[in-house]
Amino acid sequence: MKDRYNVAIVGATGAVGQEMMDILDERNFPIGELRLLASERSAGKEIEFKGNKLTIRKLDHDCFEGIDIALFSAGSSRTKEYADSAVKAGAVVIDNSSAYRLDPEVPLIIPEINPEAINGYKQKGIIANPNCTTAVTIMALKPLHDLGKIKRVIATSFQAVSGAGAGGLRELEQQTRAWANSEESESETFPHPIAFNVIPQIDIFQDNDYTKEEMKLHNETRKILGDESINLTATTVRVPVFRAHSVSVNIETEDKITASEAREALEKFPGVRVSDDPKNAVYPMPLDAAGKDDCIVGRIREDFTIDNGLTFWVVGDQLRKGAALNAVQIAELFIKSNGQNTNGI
């Protein structure tokens, strides 16, 4: 195993790419070379990392030579176009897009939940990072599934505009300023105004009238937990919050789980923090989770309408645990478990 690893970030100028750089720095990732890759219009620009200025290179098929780990954060089309080139050059690809999440030959990993799946990368040289809302939600589901086996999940998400990238952030800010100044504003990133509004649509609608985002929650949760019997129905909603997703979750389990048992299991689970004192107005909020690594759970209560039901509220920073942090954690897991086995390492 090497002491240092050459890392590439594909989509280095985007919100997730920038967050990846911050987290690599924060966690003292053992970097030899950090190669920043982006579109032609960003090539030549400089970004500072650890006191050094790095020049962004244009993404092409020949830019992965010597790279050990390629972190992709530039969307499905970019992954499908360039991932094979990275793998052929000897890198393992950790992809933040939806391109390979449901591919049976590609592991979909949250290190706290299914680290044993890491060796599945050997089939295609690719490891998938889950959808941001899935990641936040399933961090709370896993310890409860282990405790009482979840049969059914009803989830409603309240997703921050930063989940739609820099355009979402700009749109909320511009529309808020326009409203304050009694000015007209336009909606480009979202189908309707987002300031002082909620939009019950994220991504496009499917034939079953669920959106792609809602079906990601269903399909990815089953794959990560390794249980195709779990039924999950979701409504995903965009809300005028800048950062951190919130999810209202109701579960039905095979075995009874009391609220106190749920709190204990959640408190012990790595990457989860319980904030649950509603009588004193203590519960998770996006402002609490923004910029933080842990997913925060509160409003934990037994569902009085069914025998084995629980309801709770979970909040997490979708740019960190929902994207960049989880990708870096996968890279750390890869080094620990399989780094010595790859062609390029």
Q: What percent of the chain has pLDDT over 70?
A: 97
Which of the four pLDDT bands, split at 50, 70 and 90, describes residue 343?
Answer: very low
Nearest to 139 by CA among 7, 302, 288, 316: 316
Contact 343, 122 (CB under 8 A): no
Higher pLDDT, 4 or 345: 4
Give the Cα separation of 157 and 248 in Å (integer).
6
* H or E element in which residue 259 lies: helix 259-268
106's tokens: 């590609």
Q: What is the pLDDT of residues 32-84, one digit of tens each?
A: 999 999 988 889 999 999 989 999 999 999 999 999 999 999 889 999 999 99
Rounded to whole angstroms, the Cα distance separating 275 from 292 reads 14
Residue 272 bridge partners (DSSP)? 295
Catalytic center residues: 132, 245
User: H or E segment at 48?
Assistant: strand 46-49
What are the φ and ψ backbone dihedral angles of 137, each rounded to 5 degrees?
A: -70, -45
Q: Are strands 31-38 and 57-58 parallel, antiparallel or unpaired?
A: parallel
pLDDT for 1 beyond 70: no
For the chain, which domains are there? 5-129+323-341 (3.40.50.720), 133-318 (3.30.360.10)
Kindly give the residue spans of alpha helices, DSSP state H, lying in 71-192.
76-88, 132-148, 166-180
Indicate if the pLDDT at residue 139 is higher than 60: yes
Question: Can you give the length of the chain in residues?
Answer: 345
Q: pLDDT for 275-294, tens place per residue? A: 999 999 999 999 999 999 99
Q: What is the pTM of this model?
A: 0.94
- 334, 69 contact by CB (below 8 A): yes
How high is the pLDDT of residue 16?
93
Q: pLDDT value at position 338?
A: 66
